[in-house]
Structure 1
């Protein structure tokens, strides 16, 4: 099963991640605070993906013992899949950019 991440979804995820890093002040806070590095952005996205995966596992376990219903499991698994596909898409873009830079003549 494959999930396609289009440009709009990727842009929305990137914007959401930047807002989370900037903190609760939104765009106004960006002027007074330095912009987060790309490494910090990737770190936050990875931690979100790991957290979503753990939540999906917990919901699945809860469903096995009768503490969660199927809808909660599906929502958690879908969120984990979306987070993982977003991180994978960013990784693929970074690798492609690196390869393009390496092809440039010196």
Structure 2
């Protein structure tokens, strides 16, 4: 059985794989950094909840903020994909 501390440690080691990409336009770079910051906060709260160091109210609040940030990121992604598909449909 996996202990909470082992799970938290493994998760913490995997986090660098999800850092924002380099070379994005300034506005997108800032938005990606803010999104990563919100996700970092929920990671800290989740890890604290697994180890018993974080209050449940703080965990729920950070999860709600992460959900809003994720919904915004998905909406932006959908608009970008929609714009790309519209460009592909244009006659040359």
Question: Is TM > 0.5 for Structure 1 vs Structure 2?
Answer: yes
TM-score (norm 1): 0.57
Corresponding residue number in structure 2 for 1:49: 35
Contact 1:56 1:80 in 2 (8 A): yes
Unaligned runs of 5+ in 2: 1-23
Match of 1:58 among 44, 48, 52: 44
- Aligned CA RMSD, in angstroms, stands at 1.7
Corresponding residue number in structure 2 for 1:79: 65
Q: Deviations over 1:13-58 (max 9, x none)?
A: xxxxxxxxxxxxxxxxxxxxxxxxx932222221111111111111
Deviation at 1:83, TM superposition (A): 1.0
Q: Does residue 70 of structure 1 match 2:56?
A: yes
TM-score (norm 2): 0.64
Unaligned runs of 5+ in 1: 1-37
Q: Which has the higher contact order (CA 8 A, sep 6+)?
A: 1
User: Partner of 2:25: helix, strand, or coil?
Assistant: helix
User: Partner of 2:36: helix, strand, or coil?
Assistant: helix
d(CA) in 1 for partners of 2:70 and 2:26?
17
How many aligned residue pairs are there? Answer: 69
